[in-house]
Amino acid sequence: MLRAVGFSDGDFAKPQVGIASTWSNLTPCNMHIAELARDAGAGADAAGGKSVPFNTITVSDGISMGSPGMRYSLVSREVIADSIETVAGAEGFDGLVAIGGCDKNMPGCAIAIARLNRPAVFVYGGTIRLGAQRRDIISVFEAVGARAAGSITEAQLTEVERTAIPGAGSCGGMYTANTMASAIEALGLSLPGSSAQEAVGEAKRADCRRAGEAVVALLRAGIRPSDILTRKAFENAITVSIALGGSTNVVLHLLAIAQAARVKLTLADFTRVGKRTPLLADLRPSGRYAMSELIAVGGILPLMKTLLDAGLLHGDCMTVTGRSLAENLAAVAPYPAGQEIIRPLARPIKKDSHIVILHGSLAPEGAVAKITGKEGLAFAGRARVFDGEERATQAILAGRVKPGDVVVIRYEGPKGGPGMREMLSPTGAIVGLGLGDKVALITDGRFSGGSHGFVVGHVSPEAAVGGPIALLRNGDRIAIDAVKRRIDVDVPAAEWRRRTKKWRPRKPYATSGVLAKYARSVSSASLGAVTDQ
C-alpha cells in the first residue's frame, strides 16, 4: 500500500513524518496552506525523513459569525485534534508537522501534538496584509454598526466589505489567530519567528521547510513535546500573550492544551502571571497597529528578548530547535528606534494584564474579561437580558440598548450554545453605534479576538447548567470591578432563592449529531471546554 502512494525501497528505512495540513478554500486563513504543507514535506525529505501529507478540516469563524453555524467553531477544535491524533496514531508516524492558520485549527493542532507526544513542530500559516485604508475583518463588523447608526451610507459599507480582505492569511490584528500563533511559539512548539510572518512570501515558505527539517532533528535527538510543554512553558505563553494584548480565547485554548499535555494549569495562573506582566503592544483591536506592521519592525522576538532580560520569561525552557528559549533569543536585536508599536517596559500601556479573571456572585467558577483600561476599570449598570446572540444583536441594532446597560447574552456556553459562539456581531454593533465605552456586555459564550469594549465572557457555571447568569432578570443591578476582580449582582437573597427554585433546564439545541455529542461531553469553560476529561 505504501509503494502505491509513492514509497521507494529506500523510504522504508526513513522515519515517517506526517504533514498535517489544514488547507481549505473556506477561508483566506487557510487557502494557501496546501502549498506550505508541500514545503514542510520537502524540508522533512531533505533532512532524511519520508513525509506523508494528510488533511484535516477547518471552519471559518468570520463567515459563520453571528449565525447558527458559529456553534460549530469551538467544536471544530476538538474534531481537528481528534482527527490529527487518529491519523498519526493509526499510521504510526514517527514525527509530525502541523500547519494551522485560523483560530481553532491552531490549538487543535497543539492539542493533538500534546496527546501524541511524538517529535513535532507547529507552523503558523501567517497573517494577512492590510486592506485598503488599513482595513481588516473587524472594520466590516464595526461598519455594520455604523450603518445602523446612520453614520455611514450603504455604499460606504459595501466599499469597506469589498476592500477589507486582500488575500491569504489570518485576521490581521492581535486577534485569536495571531494571539495563538504567538502563544504557541512562546510555548516552544514553533521555530523562532514563525508566529510573526505574513502568509504570502518566501519567509513563510522557508519557515515551513525548516520545520520539516527540525522534526527529523528532534527525532534524532529524542526530544518530545512532553520535554517542551512544561508548566514554565505555559507561563511563558501566558506572559507573551498578555504583553501583546492578546485575545481572551488564549485562556480557553491554553487550558485545553495544558490538559492534553497533563500539565496543571488553572484560571488562577492567569491572574498570578498577569499581575507581573505589563501590556506593551499597541495592536488592534484596542490599539492602532496590525500584525503586518509589527512584522515590519521585527515581529515578536525583540519583545520576547525584552521580557526575558527583565526576568519575566523562563529562559531555560526547551524548544523545537533543540535549544532553550534563552539560547534562541541570545542574538536577537532590539526594535528600531522610533517605532511606536511595542512600548518600553518603563512606559507600558497597562502595568498589568488586560485579561482579567473575575469571580463573584455571577461567576463562582470564574469569568474572563478583556480590560485594557481604555474602557475604564469598573462598570455598574442595569441588566438587559437576552437568551441567545441573535436577540441581543437585533436589540442593539434597533437602538433598544442604552448607555448604562449591561447586555447579558446567555445560553451560549459550551453546553448551552452549544459551542460558545463568539459575540463579535453584538460587540461590533455596540462599537459601531458609538456605545463602546457606555455599555458593558457579559456572556457565558466567548469573544472574537476582534472584540473590544467592556466585555466579560466565559461566565461559569453557564446558564444551561443553572449557573447564576441563568437567574438574571431585566433591571438587575450588575457591578463589574477589574481592580477587585469581581462580578456581582445585587439581588436580595430571598428573591435569589425563589428564582433558583423556579429555574428549569432548557430543551437542548441539538439532540443528535456532533453538537449533541459535544454538549454531552464538554467541560466548563473554566476548565478549557475540553471533551477528553
Long-range interactions of 504-513: CB distance < 8 A, separation 24+: 505/464, 505/465, 505/466, 506/411, 506/416, 506/464, 508/418, 509/71, 509/416, 509/417, 509/418, 510/418
Q: Given 448, 451, 524, 526, which residue is catalytic?
A: 448
Length of the chain: 533
**Amino acid occupying residue 384:** R
Q: What is the largest CA-CA distance in the chain?
A: 78
Q: How far apart are CA 418 and CA 206, in angstroms?
A: 40
Q: How far apart are CA 228 and CA 251, in angstroms?
A: 19
Host H or E run for residue 409: strand 405-410
448 tagged catalytic: yes
Q: How far apart are CA 200 and CA 208, in angstroms?
A: 12
CB 283 within 8 A of CB 244: yes
Looking from the CA of 330 toward its CB, the CA atoms found within 13 Å total 6
Q: How far apart are CA 459 and CA 419, in angstroms?
A: 14
Give whole-number Cα distances, 102 to 120, 265, 524, in Å: 19, 24, 23
DSSP string computed for 346-394 = TS-SBSS-SEEEEEETTEEEEEEEE--STT-SEEEEEEEEEESHHHHHH
The C-alpha cell that represents 8 in the structure block: 521507494
Number of other residues whose CB lies within 10 A of the CB of residue 507? 6
CB 418 within 8 A of CB 509: yes
DSSP bridge partners of 381:
478
Active site residues: 448
